Amino acid sequence: MKSLITKTLVQIALEEDIASGDITTKALVNSDAKGKASIVAKENLIIAGLELVHIVYKELSPDIKISNKCIDGDEISSGQQVCEIIGPLSTLLEGERTTLNFLQRLSGIATQTRRYINELNSNEPLIVDTRKTLPGWRRLEKMAVRIGGATNHRMGLYDGVLIKDNHIKICGGIQLAISKVRKQVSHLTKIEVEVENFEQLQQALDAKADVIMLDNMNNDDIKKAVKHINGKALIEVSGGIKIDRIKELANSGVDIISIGALTHSATAVDLSMQIIPEDYSLV
């Protein structure tokens, strides 16, 4: 996670929040004052993004010491301490909101993902995410999905072939699109194509697509499609998948369920930071 993108994102977040300085803290807190902060869960959740706590505070001050009380992926109960941060009191206050923003968002995604995984209660089919992520946050959000127990789909446009509806229209059909792609990519690269009906499904089979994505099909049509494909390609289902469909989809014989809601509809969890000075007389 310690990528240049993550470090830059943290720097942008801190600049956005602090800019020329925390005028409230500067007015109220002695620069020599030390303190201790505890991040505490205010609801039951799956924790994710603990390293961001370290990255944020190390960006603010080298004099910060952080002790995690859990690890990413742990189930945390309301009232449970997540980590303890010790250092300059002014730094603790300055980094509070940025730290919580990262932790609450990523833990929200992990918690949402774990709900889907628990509903499936099996290793098959795979539950995967999508590219429906906040700009700049993709690596972090997909990390949170993994922490929640699901699997990542492609990271971006550069690491997987997925021929979608607009590609098909532009190329004049599925077979033409697959043929063009196959001439350009390595023989080791799988080719996935999105289909919306049984006519397109047959075209994808005829063109020997490696993975066929059944987009926005109802459960009955998905079952018919699985029988029709009959093991000739991996089968992915996508399009507005809600948690109440997971068990039936799992029983339909599909290989992959992609769910945009893991990221785009995840609700931030409730975490708070409680800060106390080491010596009230120095504040």
Catalytic residue among 129, 192, 215, 236: 215
Catalytic residue among 97, 131, 154, 182: 97
- Give the C-alpha separation, 127 to 149, whole Å: 9
Catalytic residue among 132, 154, 223, 224: 132
Q: Which of 54, 150, 147 is nearest to 106 (CA)?
A: 147
Q: Counting beta carbons within 10 angstroms of the beta carbon of residue 171, is it exposed (0 to 12), middle (13 to 18) or buried (19 or more)?
A: middle
Strand-strand pairing, 271-277 and 34-41: antiparallel
Q: Is the dihedral of CA 153, 156, 162, 168 positive or negative?
A: positive
- Residue 119: what residue type? E
State yes or no: is 26 an active-site residue.
Answer: no
DSSP 55: H
State yes or no: is 196 an active-site residue.
Answer: no
State yes or no: is 131 an active-site residue.
Answer: no
Output the CA–CA distances (angstroms, integers) from residue 122 to 20, 99, 212, in the order listed.
51, 34, 22
DSSP 43: S
Catalytic residue among 164, 190, 208, 227: 164
| Residue 4, both tokens | 């240049």
CB 81, CB 69: distance < 8 Å: yes
State yes or no: is 97 an active-site residue.
Answer: yes
Task: Collect all residues with Cβ–Cβ distance below 8 Å to 177 and sequence separation of at least 6.
Answer: 163, 167, 168, 171, 193
DSSP codes of every residue in 20-47: T--HHHHHHS-TT-EEEEEEEESS-EE-
Please report, for the chain, how many H helices and E strands are present, in that order.
11, 12
CB 57, CB 64: distance < 8 Å: yes
Catalytic residues: 97, 132, 164, 194, 215
